[in-house]
Amino acid sequence: MKYFFIKTFGCQANKSDSERIAGDYVARGFKETITWKKADEIVVNTCSVRQRAEDRVKGFLLNVGKHYASTTKPKVILTGCMLHHQTKDIIKLLPQVDEVLPINEVGFNSPTIRRDKHHAFIPISSGCNSYCTFCIVPYSRGRERSRPLKEIVTEVKDLVDDGYQEITLLGQNVNSYGLEKTSVAVRKLLMKDSLTQKEIPTNQSAYSKPRSTPPFVKLLQEISRFNKLKTIHFITANPWDFWDELIDEIATNKKISRYIHLPVQSGSDKILKLMNRGYTSKHYLKLVEKIREKAPDVSFGTDIIIGFPGETDKDFQDTVKLVKKAKFQIGFIAQYSPRPGTASYRLYEDTISPQIKKKRWQILEDIINKPNLSARPVIK
């Protein structure tokens, strides 16, 4: 009997991918072990959203390398978002790695091993077409691809039949489900070694309004028909493509979670433009107000990057103003760190000091998270 161990870093999408990787191992006759020290193969599912995330991967693999310094090391396979690095660079950066597994090779329909028997992650799309200048996802996970609606509904039905009452629909832009359109030419452009601000296309997930019911709304309606399914979460929604039909569905469909995660990233229109987010602070706040008018019981969470290149004190104060108006119940606040390969890494110099970033981070932490410690929504 051979044993495998999966170490997962990062978000819900990575957790879901690890469940499907585990299913593939079991299908091939392996057995999972709870400790990497007993494994024949170790899979490291990586996050690369911030430098700290990559540092945690490096630390884990250093421990593996030290443990097996004088004995035969198990095979180490790297997957996840760190694969934006070229394979030769990965081997140089992480000499403990033997193989890489492109994350887009983990199929939607791979067998899944779930430890939680009441709640399940269900990917509805993979990749991203938005090309926010700070983000590595389009490079590590590829173009946005939606999963056929029938496949998703079938998986939900099987889960409900097995006793699951709660699911989370996963995608980089769930409200853009079924609408992807970015061409290969755009992807090649963004992956050029040299890049200018003028070459960056407008946000590629801002699609034209569908003539009929948006596909994501149709999906929510289809899976809500299963009587024994109690709660539907989804993550991540974005300010673009948040159609009125989706707002109406959230307001009237009480199976949908009362928590909406809606990343804003900055309250400064100048910084939002540099990030290629495709909306303004006014548009964002108007959307939040519209949702609250239709669904007053909904709470909001967000993602914010502070210290983005060019962020002045005024830009940061614009973010503070937006935060106070939006009244978020939870905020995932990150200090900007340049990610090799992204547009911002190639275009903008990271000149804001760590001290200023930390100070601004603390200000937002005190406004958003500190007052809500006892009432933070549970993110699934």
Cα–Cα dist 253/34, whole Å: 40
Same domain, 92 and 125: no
Same domain, 319 and 257: yes
The answer to whether position 15 is within a domain reads yes
Same domain, 129 and 247: yes
Could you list the beta-strand ranges (E) of the chain.
Answer: 3-8, 31-32, 41-46, 75-80, 99-101, 119-123, 125-126, 145-146, 166-170, 231-235, 259-261, 299-306, 330-335
Categorize the per-residue pLDDT at 131 as very low, low, confident or very high, splitting at 50, 70 and 90: confident
Same domain, 249 and 153: yes
Same domain, 151 and 9: no
Amino acid residing at 256: I
The answer to whether position 110 is within a domain reads no
The answer to whether position 114 is within a domain reads no
Same domain, 186 and 292: yes
Of 105, 139, 155, which residue sits at a domain end?
A: 105
Of 54, 71, 105, which residue sits at a domain end?
A: 105
pLDDT at 182: 45
Averaged pLDDT for residues 147-163 = 95
pLDDT at 371: 87
Categorize the per-residue pLDDT at 187 as very low, low, confident or very high, splitting at 50, 70 and 90: very low
Q: What CATH number is attached to the domain comprising 26? A: 3.40.50.12160
pLDDT at 183: 45
Instruction: Using the structure block, give the residue that is written with the tokens 């061409």.
Output: 183
Same domain, 241 and 338: yes
pLDDT at 86: 77
Same domain, 234 and 86: no
pLDDT at 119: 96
Host domain of residue 158: 119-375
The answer to whether position 112 is within a domain reads no
**CB-based contact 213:249 (threshold 8 Å):** no
Same domain, 137 and 286: yes
Number of structural domains the chain divides into: 2
pLDDT at 208: 58
Same domain, 163 and 304: yes
Q: What CATH number is attached to the domain comprising 161? A: 3.80.30.20
In this predicted structure, the answer to whether residue 185 has a pLDDT above a threshold of 60 is no
Same domain, 12 and 134: no
The answer to whether position 199 is within a domain reads yes
Percent of the chain scored above 90 by pLDDT? 67
Same domain, 101 and 126: no
Residues 6+ apart with CB under 8 A from 376: 329, 330, 369
